[in-house]
A = this chain, B = another copy of it.
Amino acid sequence: MPGVTSGLPTPRAVAARTVWLTGLPSAGKTTLARALAARLEGSGAAVEVLDGDELRPVLSSGLGYSRQDRDENVRRIGFVADLLSRNGVWAVAAVVSPYRGARDEVRTRHGGRFFEVWVSTPAEVCAERDVKGLYAKQTSGALTGLTGADDPYEPPLSPELVLPTHELGVDGCVDRIWSALGLDQAAAGMVGATTALSRSLR
């Protein structure tokens, strides 16, 4: 079980949560989500990655990129994340989710199961990475409404964790999340308590 000291409880033994990665395009959200999910899964947890780009055509075809539509998209993904995590399945969401209000709505829906991570890679670094070529398109005028360039991004005011990916690297980031979730120090008494715990959170 990579990342878990032998003898300590696995994520199956603690109540599932929704880990919500918010940040600019190319901040590294999807990469981190996949790496975290792999570590969770390797430790025996049930996990789903909810990636904003992948879910758009599935849940939100017909929605655009206005504030209203972005918020509606965030609410839908938040609804699905809540359904999963309240049933013991970890949800790792990688969604720009630029507006604080919509993220906070999702947090409220979750009760105590929401773990917000601000992937705080600076705009300049994101624009250099430009994984999907969006920053280049925005610069050339072929695209408008790019979060962090010519569209707003509201950072979380009190996220559970802030991750400057450009300083930490992927493994370092996942280590931080793991630790902040308490997965490397969960009480041994919690082993086997998955069902009772996750159900008590419904």
Q: Which residues of A contact B (CB under 8 A)?
A: 12, 44, 46, 48, 58-59, 61-63, 72, 75-76, 79-80, 83-84, 87-89, 195, 198-199
CB distance from A158 to the nearest CB of B (A): 27
User: Across the interface, do B46 and A87 meet the contact criterion of CB distance under 8 Å?
Assistant: yes
A72 vs B76: C-alpha distance when bound (angstroms): 14
User: Across the interface, do A59 and B62 meet the contact criterion of CB distance under 8 Å?
Assistant: no
- B-chain residues with CB within 8 Å of residue A48 when the two chains form the complex: 83, 87
CB distance from A16 to the nearest CB of B (A): 10
**Dominant SS at the A interface?**
helix
CB distance from A190 to the nearest CB of B (A): 17
- Residue from A58, A63, A80 whose CB has the most chain B CB atoms within 10 Å: A80
Task: Determine how many copies of this chain the complex contains.
Answer: 2
- B-chain residues with CB within 8 Å of residue A44 when the two chains form the complex: 195
Q: Which residue of the partner chain B has the closest CB to A194?
A: B195
Closest 8 A/B residue pairs (Cβ): A87-B89, A46-B87, A58-B79, A59-B76, A62-B62, A48-B83, A80-B80, A46-B88
User: Can you list 26 A-B contacts (CB < 8 A)?
Assistant: A12-B195, A46-B87, A46-B195, A46-B198, A46-B199, A48-B83, A48-B87, A58-B75, A58-B79, A59-B59, A59-B76, A59-B79, A61-B72, A62-B62, A62-B63, A62-B72, A80-B80, A83-B83, A83-B84, A84-B87, A84-B89, A87-B87, A87-B89, A88-B88, A88-B89, A89-B89
A44-B195, A80-B80, A84-B84 are known; give 5 further A-B pairs, CB within 8 A: A46-B87, A58-B79, A59-B79, A62-B62, A89-B89
